[in-house]
A and B are shown apart, each in its own frame.
Chain A
Amino acid sequence: MSLEIEVGFTLNGRTVQVKVPPGMTTLAMLREKLDMTGGKLACGEGECGACTVKIDGRTINSCLMFAVDCDGRDIQTIEGLGSVAGLEIMQQAFVEHGAIQCGYCMPGMIMQARYLVDQNAGNDQKLSREDIARGLEGNVCRCSGYTKVVDAVAAVALEEASA
Chain B
Amino acid sequence: MIENYKVPSSIAEAAQILHQGEATIVAGGTDLTPQTEAGAREFAVTLINIQRIEEMRGISRSDDRYRIGGLTTVTEILESESLAIDVPVLVEAADHFASPQIRNAATIAGNLCNASPAGDMCIPLLLLDAEVELASWVDGSVSVRTLALADFFTGPGKTVMRTDELLTAVVFNQPVAGFAATFQKSGPRPALEISTVSMGVAAVPEAGVLTVVRVAIGAVAPVPLRATDTEAVLEGQALDESLIDKAAESVQQEVSPIDDVRASAWYRKHLTGVYLRRALSHVAGN
A residues bordering B, Cβ < 8 Å? 2-3, 5, 21-23, 25, 44-47, 49, 52, 58-61, 63-66, 68-69, 71, 112, 115-116, 134-135, 137-139
Contacts and interface: CB of A to CB of B under 8 A. Distances in A.
Interface string B187-212: 00011100000000000000000000
Contacts of B75: 58
B34 A58 contact: no
B47 interface: yes
Across the A-B interface, give the 10 residue pairs with the lowest CB-CB distance, nearest first: A138-B99, A137-B191, A45-B34, A58-B104, A22-B5, A64-B33, A22-B2, A60-B105, A138-B101, A61-B101
A31 to B, nearest CB: 15
Contact of B36 (A23, A52, A58): A23
Contacts of A65: 28-29, 33, 105
B37 A45 contact: yes
A107 B100 CA distance: 16
A22 B47 CA distance: 8
13 contacts: A2-B1, A22-B47, A23-B43, A25-B37, A44-B34, A49-B99, A58-B75, A59-B100, A64-B105, A65-B29, A66-B29, A116-B100, A138-B192
Given A2-B1, A69-B49, A69-B51, A61 B192 contact: no
Contacts of A137: 99-100, 190-192
A60 B26 contact: no
Contacts of A69: 26, 29, 49, 51
A68 B28 contact: no
Given A47-B192, A52-B101, A64 B49 contact: no
Contacts of A60: 101, 104-105
A91 B190 CA distance: 27
B5 A49 contact: no
